[in-house]
Amino acid sequence: MDNFIAARSQMGMSLAFHIIFATIGVSLPLMMTISEWRWRSTGDPVYLLLAKRWAKGTTILFAVGAISGTVLSFELGLLWPRFMQYAGAVIGMPFSLEGFAFFTEAIFLGIYLYGWDRVPGWFHLLSGIIVAISGVLSAGFVTLVNGWMNTPTGFDIVAGKFENIHPFVAMFNPAGIPEAVHMVLAAYTAAGFATAGIHGWLLLRRGRNRFDEVAIGIALLVGGTPVLLQSVSGDALARMVAAKQPMKLASLEGQFQTETGAPFRIGGIPFPDKRETKYAIDIPYGLSLLSFHNPHALIKGLDQEPQSDWPNVRMVHICFQIMVGCGSLLSLFALLAGGLTWKKPPLINHKAFLKALVLISPLGFVALEAGWMVTELGRQPWIIYHLMRTKDAVTSMPNVTITLLVMTALYVILGIIVVWLLSRHVIAVPDRKQLERAGVLV
Amino acid sequence: MSADVVLAGVMLAALVIYSLFGGADYGAGFWDLMCSGPRQQDQRALIARAIQPVWEANHIWLILIVVLMFSGFPAAFSEISLSLAVPIFLILLGIVLRGSSYVFRAYFTGSVRTQLYWGKVFSISSSITPLFLGIVIGAISSNGVLVKDGISESGFLGTWFYPFPLIVGLLSLSLFAYLSACYLTIETDDPALQNDFRNRALFSGFASLMAAFATYVVAGNAAQGIRDGLSRAPYVWLIELGGAIAALVAFQALWTRHYQRARIAAAAQVTLIVFGWGVAQYPYVVRPELTIYNSSAPTNIVSDLVIAVAMGALLLIPSLILLLFVFKTHRESISVDADTTTV
């Protein structure tokens, strides 16, 4: 394999795994804190047990996330030394702040785990909240860096180098905040629905029990609320892309020609050689309306740039369709479930509801990974948009294929271990004794 | 003192803390490999118990060093990650393998054979990381790392595969093993087990002294710069003297079985060795070309980073003290209700 492709594959593979670990690590603390709060206000031991289970899950994911995060921080230099040489100083601030958010998370997770009967109740709950907030901040800071790669700001270029750098202007680049919000909402959606789905499946298998029912309730709340907000956040992000990265918008929409009143395409396969997107359902004026809130707005097409500078339009467009499709299905489900919450008998007693839940539960993660494919592939061939090409940033070290193969094998093992640990220690059904003794468990 | 030097000092402090906490974890993994004799199983159980609560969270310190390096000294970070890619990759390999095999071994309930197999992976990978960490330190202290136009002048093996870095690798492995053995003596009340780890501490402490001596001798050829740095100013001598005294106190305490004192002295010894290296390396980040001054990011960035670090420390240090307090009371009560710890 060509070194450049191997380096891109290794980075993509490491990120794809890390995103899953990190996403669950961001969402579980919120679920565990909600559960503890329910326990403190109702005294129902099933909430306490659930909070402790999710705390254990948080610990596992935190440790695995620490490992895969360490790997990524080194890989930035190992694979892209020239990128780090030029951009390290500009993007260092959010990375450093992320380090501190991570520290805070570690410390308060420790207090949460070992402080059940050693700190006052309100402080224990507060520790859980701090863990949840610092997890969100970590995710946010890292995403700000990705935002900068898409809309680089906060510097002047003097003689081929970054000069007059303003780290906070760089940090709050135009793409940064919209991307970070979109990412955090996606994290809650993906992990919330996945958790609800797992417990839905277990509920179908092992029959009615409070443990799974309560878990589904909290997980659906954590997954279902953000997915509805995601449409607002997605709209803000799309308008930012339309304004700042018109070529990226053109490739995610499969828009080859520049036109006013451009249609919004649902589905379809772009054919870059023929410069058209076939088999799509067109919604007239849709894209202009969505991008600029004006049906006659001008949408720049890929024809504005030489074909050699296009990303892989077909992949980007298809991934974008997958993301939007999954997100829409999940939103529909969340709306239905939310609307029917007050009906009797409760939804959770319906097998059909549980089956539907199980069926759609992986879609959050599918959308998450597809969304990252859109933003990463859509930025190509640039590592820093319109400033540095990815191929100019890659290491001169030979045989990257070997490290790619080794790291892939290792991550697969790590992934299997995580799944196995979670199934054994977090979602396994508790026996009666555990429920009765929940108050004394540590 | 300029902001560059302060930032480099923070990184050195993080390296010291990583050696004291993370290093002891790695060392414990090394001893897991070397468990022998009639109390083999008890030794392994002691090691597993001792490293359980801290687990992989100590990598935070390593991440902090990496992040501050690429933000504050991007040129040095780029040069190190290019020319020392092979040992750095092996460090990562060690970290990932160690983390995965540790959880697998700790929670696996199947056959003893599989568990033993994962134990081997755990202990071998625990030894790989400190070895190559030392090799990287050795390589940036000698004069082999030079990058011109994105190409490493000595290739990818020539930058580190020669006696000086390799001996520094052995030095760091033996120091971590020594530190860990000293810590393990007070993690148990069983005198026989204490004695096992006391003997190991004495042995690995002696090995680290030999490695340190060898480093000094070999430095005459390969790393004259760092050797000059070690014998430069009076304060460097003071640090070396302090290290030597700490080593003597630690050995005496081990010999007379005063484990608490041995542990503190060994930690002081490792602190002074790492700190002494940093002072001898000054002003270089990567010898022979990149210094703290010529590889740093623009001044405003470095001062912003220093401010961010200071504010972070202001927030984190009280939290850390609180955590240690909670941990300590937790540990004391574990022995009382040991069988209620499962969920």
Lowest mean pLDDT of A86-95, B15-24, B103-112, B334-343, name the range. Answer: B334-343
> Prior bond to B283 cis, omega within 30?
yes
Cα(A167)–Cα(B307) distance, integer angstroms: 13
Write out chain B residues lying below 8 Å of A396, CB-based: 82, 150-152
Residues found in chain B? 343
> Prior bond to A381 cis, omega within 30?
yes
Are A96 and B309 within 8 A, CB to CB? yes
Which pLDDT score, from 0 to 100, does residue A436 have? Answer: 52
Which pLDDT score, from 0 to 100, does residue A440 have? Answer: 37
To the nearest whole angstrom, how far is the Cα of B213 from the nearest Cα of chain A? 31
Residue of chain A whose alpha carbon sits nearest to that of B154: A397
Are A56 and B326 within 8 A, CB to CB? no
Instruction: Out of A77, A165, A403, name the one closest to residue B78 (CB).
Output: A77
Cα(B239)–Cα(B250) distance, integer angstroms: 16
Burial of A309 (0-12, 13-18, 19+ CB in 10 A): middle
Are B81 and A93 within 8 A, CB to CB? no
Write out chain B residues lying below 8 Å of A95, CB-based: 67, 70-71
CATH class of this structure's domain B3-297: mainly alpha
Residue of chain A whose alpha carbon sits nearest to that of B100: A414
Per residue in B211-233, pLDDT (tens digit) is 998 988 888 777 788 888 777 77
Rg (CA), chain B: 21
Which pLDDT score, from 0 to 100, does residue B97 have? Answer: 86
Are A74 and B322 within 8 A, CB to CB? no
Say what the pTM is. 0.87
Write out chain B residues lying below 8 Å of A56, CB-based: 343
Cα(A100)–Cα(A97) distance, integer angstroms: 5
Instruction: Out of A71, A91, A102, name the one closest to residue B96 (CB).
Output: A71
Pairing state of beta strands B147-148 and B151-152? Answer: antiparallel
Write out chain A residues lying below 8 Å of B100, CB-based: 67, 410, 413-414, 417
Are B70 and A95 within 8 A, CB to CB? yes
Instruction: Out of B60, B77, B342, name the one closest to residue A77 (CB).
Output: B77
Residue of chain A whose alpha carbon sits nearest to that of B330: A114
Look up residue A427 and give its DSSP letter.
S
Write out chain A residues lying below 8 Å of B308, CB-based: 93, 96-97, 100
Q: Is residue B71 over pLDDT 50?
A: yes
Lowest mean pLDDT of A28-32, A397-401, B137-141, B261-265, name the range. Answer: A397-401
Write out chain B residues lying below 8 Å of A62, CB-based: 57
> The tokens of B105 are what?
């071994």
Are B81 and A78 within 8 A, CB to CB? yes
Are B150 and A53 within 8 A, CB to CB? no
β-partners of residue B148 are: B151
Which pLDDT score, from 0 to 100, does residue A416 have? Answer: 86
Residue of chain A whose alpha carbon sits nearest to that of B72: A89
Are A441 and B320 within 8 A, CB to CB? no
Which pLDDT score, from 0 to 100, does residue A441 have? Answer: 36
Instruction: Out of A52, A76, A410, name the one closest to residue B96 (CB).
Output: A410
Which pLDDT score, from 0 to 100, does residue B336 have? Answer: 41
ipTM: 0.81
Write out chain B residues lying below 8 Å of A397, CB-based: 82, 85, 152, 156
Domain ranges of chain B: 3-297
Q: Is residue B15 over pLDDT 50?
A: yes
Instruction: Out of B70, B75, B80, name the one closest to residue A76 (CB).
Output: B70
Ranges of residues in chain A with a pLDDT under 70 are: 427, 429-442
Per residue in B242-252, pLDDT (tens digit) is 989 999 999 99
To the nearest whole angstrom, how far is the Cα of B47 from the nearest Cα of chain A? 19
Q: Which of B114, B112, B130, B120 is nearest to B32 (CA)?
A: B120
Q: Is residue B122 over pLDDT 80?
A: yes
Cα(B199)–Cα(B207) distance, integer angstroms: 12
Are B103 and A165 within 8 A, CB to CB? no
Which pLDDT score, from 0 to 100, does residue B333 have? Answer: 53
> The tokens of B118 are what?
């994962």
Position B61 confidence tier, pLDDT thresholds 50, 70, 90: confident
Per residue in B266-276, pLDDT (tens digit) is 999 999 999 98
Instruction: Out of A84, A97, A111, name the one closest to residue B322 (CB).
Output: A111
Are A104 and B107 within 8 A, CB to CB? no
Mutation pick from B54, B62, B69, B100 vs chain A, by most beta carbons of A within 10 Å, is B100
Are B72 and A115 within 8 A, CB to CB? no
The pLDDT mean for chain B works out to: 84
